[in-house]
Amino acid sequence: MSLAADTGVNGVELGVVLFFFVLVTAGGFVAVRWRRGESMHSLDEWGLGGRGFGTVVTWFLLGGDLYTAYTFVAVPAAMFATGAVSGFFAVPYTIVAYPIVFVFLPRLWSVAHRRGYVTPADFVRGRHGSRGLALAVALTGILATMPYIALQLVGIQAVLDTMGLGGSGSWFVRDLPLIIAFAVLAAYTYSSGLRAPALIAFVKDTLIYVVIVVAIIYVASEIGFGTMFDTAKGAMAKPNATTGLPTGTFFAGNTTYWAYGTLAFGSALALFMYPHAITAVLSSRRRSVIRRNTAILPAYSFMLALLALLGFAALYEVAAGKMDVFGQDGKANAQLAVPHFFQAVFPSWFAGVAFAAIAIGALVPAAIMSIAAANLFTRNVYREYLKPDATPKHEAQVAKIVSLVVKFGALVFVLGLDRQNALNMQLLGGVWILQTFVSIVGGLYTRWFHRWALLLGWAAGMVYGTVVAYRQEVPVVVTKLVDGDVVSSVNGTRHFGSPLADFPFTDTKVYIAATALLINLVVAVALTLVLRAVRAPEGVDETEPGDYHADAPSTKVVAAAERELAAEEGVTATPQRGQP
């Protein structure tokens, strides 16, 4: 039972969570020895795990990477608060993403492997011969990753709050557990690089699968799916106390077809543009590993769908008077729906397992995201603009430090931001990252687009997306429990309140990212026609047609990299690992 008045710390839950936390921390530090390469002193080793992961490790790594606290906390929270259109779109999103990336990701893997590219911006630079465009892609990646890491922290916070930690006291005491968890994460990411999250992902995914199977059996046997859906339908139809409109949607209606569809497809296109997704893809050993993974990764989507429904199960438990979503601070918070559900219906030790799963499920992607952002900064900002003669060893060192800075940045982000609509953070990141789609995926197939047109298209999409997202102002509703009564009050408005906005010149709501991508594409096509007509310089394409199908690194590139490494370490270079 979790009621607002109950402020004690649950010792059993905390003990179980600490046990798993210590376990994965040990794993994180030991990981440095796992499948060890010749040296950790290069981005290929630290930032891509030596590019040697096979089908199974890649599956765990990508699963651990893509299915995050977003899946376990934010999606069910959205289902709990406003229903299908704002939450369940994640299901078609994570289904259609795979047939889509099946088509183009192997090309990206091949060209990256042959040319030694570590980041998507490396590819853009090589393909379009444009430093400016590469910088735009790199900075977009770093920017979009920040709110995504912050979303992971929101997940950990929800768990800590449920266990009774962090309710009272100064902000420092309140957020101390979160800061400690993050400091430990930062330490092993620093020393082990991508190998750490890859190893921890095994623990995380095993826990998650166990937890979700048990939870669904509980829902099926103790609540019944029919009852659960009926409760949810009723709850969504109920008028909202402040606006008088229905609370949410039980399924997409006339006015929300486009919203639902564009959220799903826009997010799907954006998914593998994220630096952390590309990092995990590039760390795989062979081209075929990626296509095989597109067939087995939907196992996680199945889990996501069931988890989303736990938001509805929580609605049932609330209606039955077994739980609420009031946090330690006395305010209602939808992010607490799933953690409170576990606490209300399961014994403490099992709730502890579930919380450990959520917390580790947030740490793994946070680690990969910070590594990906660090790779981007090092390759495409530091080496490109600040220190062009950086050696591989020096690059790895810079990346390690940047990974710390990025995590700290996300921590600041989350301590200062509204956590109520954590899902919006991820959707805002999606608006930005999708603007790199034309440069990256377009570039995989054609050199037709002009580099300046791509840059201006990107700029148009970024400006439109950010401005429109900013203009989505919604009232800030604070719901508290006062003497046993639920009291809601409106406390001003806030920006970035919704991922949806009217499509220009219509009153149909669509995902802002989709409109922005369309504008981006139109600008890029129109300006390419103009720039080609005036014969503006196109830039040099360093890739060759064969690069896009290759299954092994280019011998020329490998030889050059080895010369560089050998010159630096004063030893004879041995053949690269990770070759078939």
Partner 1 sequence: MTKPTPLPLATKIAVAVLLVIPCAALAAVPLYSRETPELWGWPFFYWFQLSWVLITPVLTYLAYVLLERARGRR
Enter the tokens of residue 250.
């039980």
Asked if 227 interacts with partner 1 (CB under 8 A), we say yes
Single residue of 3, 6, 206, 225 touching partner 1 by CB under 8 A = 225
Asked if 307 interacts with partner 1 (CB under 8 A), we say no
For 135, 472, 525, the CA distances from 519, given in Å and listed in that order, are 21, 19, 10
Which residue, 98 or 190, is less far from partner 1 as judged by CB?
Answer: 98
Asked if 261 interacts with partner 1 (CB under 8 A), we say yes
Single residue of 19, 251, 349, 470 touching partner 1 by CB under 8 A = 251
Single residue of 8, 226, 570, 575 touching partner 1 by CB under 8 A = 226
Report, in Å, the least distance between residue 79 CB and partner 1.
11
Asked if 235 interacts with partner 1 (CB under 8 A), we say no
For 111, 184, 516, 543, 553, the CA distances from 546, given in Å and listed in that order, are 9, 44, 33, 8, 11
- Main-chain dihedrals φ then ψ at residue 577, nearest 5 degrees: -75, 165
For 19, 354, 508, the CA distances from 13, given in Å and listed in that order, are 10, 9, 46
For 15, 147, 207, 342, the CA distances from 304, given in Å and listed in that order, are 27, 20, 14, 16
Q: Which of residues 89-108 bind partner 1 (CB under 8 A)?
A: 91-92, 95-96, 98-100, 102-103
Asked if 224 interacts with partner 1 (CB under 8 A), we say yes
Interface map 515-554 toward partner 1 (x if CB under 8 A):
-----------------------------xxxx-xx---x
d(Cα 354, Cα 356) in Å, to the nearest integer?
Answer: 5
Report, in Å, the least distance between residue 167 CB and partner 1.
36
Contacts of 571 (CB under 8 A, 6+ apart): none
Report, in Å, the least distance between residue 336 CB and partner 1.
24
Beta bridge partners of 479: 488
Report, in Å, the least distance between residue 96 CB and partner 1.
5
Which residue, 167 or 261, is less far from partner 1 as judged by CB?
Answer: 261
Asked if 292 interacts with partner 1 (CB under 8 A), we say yes
Report, in Å, the least distance between residue 229 CB and partner 1.
6
Asked if 299 interacts with partner 1 (CB under 8 A), we say yes
Contact 368, 194 (CB under 8 A): yes
For 63, 102, 199, 212, the CA distances from 206, given in Å and listed in that order, are 11, 26, 12, 10
Asked if 156 interacts with partner 1 (CB under 8 A), we say no
Asked if 423 interacts with partner 1 (CB under 8 A), we say no
Single residue of 129, 167, 298, 330 touching partner 1 by CB under 8 A = 298
Asked if 342 interacts with partner 1 (CB under 8 A), we say no
With 0-12 / 13-18 / 19 or more C-beta atoms within 10 angstroms meaning exposed / middle / buried, residue 551 is middle
Q: Give the range of 222-230, 384-392, 446-454, 517-525 binding partner 1 by CB under 8 A.
A: 222-230
Asked if 250 interacts with partner 1 (CB under 8 A), we say yes
Axis-axis angle for helices 257-271, 512-533 (nearest 10): 60
Single residue of 291, 393, 532, 577 touching partner 1 by CB under 8 A = 291
Ramachandran sector of residue 478 (left: φ over 0; alpha: ψ -120 to 50; beta: rest): beta
Beta bridge partners of 486: 481
Interface map 71-90 toward partner 1 (x if CB under 8 A):
-------------x---x--
Single residue of 294, 380, 515, 576 touching partner 1 by CB under 8 A = 294
d(Cα 11, Cα 57) in Å, to the nearest integer?
Answer: 34
* Neighbour tally for 412: CB within 10 Å: 11
Spatial CA neighbour of 276 closest among 90, 409, 152, 446 = 152
Residue with the two structure tokens 């075929």:
288
Q: Give the range of 17-25, 129-137, 298-306, 468-476 binding partner 1 by CB under 8 A.
A: 298-306
Which residue, 8 or 226, is less far from partner 1 as judged by CB?
Answer: 226
Q: Give the range of 201-209, 289-297, 327-335, 417-425 binding partner 1 by CB under 8 A.
A: 289-297
Q: Which residues contact partner 1 (rule: CB under 8 A)?
A: 84, 88, 91-92, 95-96, 98-100, 102-103, 224-229, 250-253, 257-258, 260-261, 264-265, 288, 291-292, 294-296, 298-299, 301-302, 305, 309, 544-547, 549-550, 554
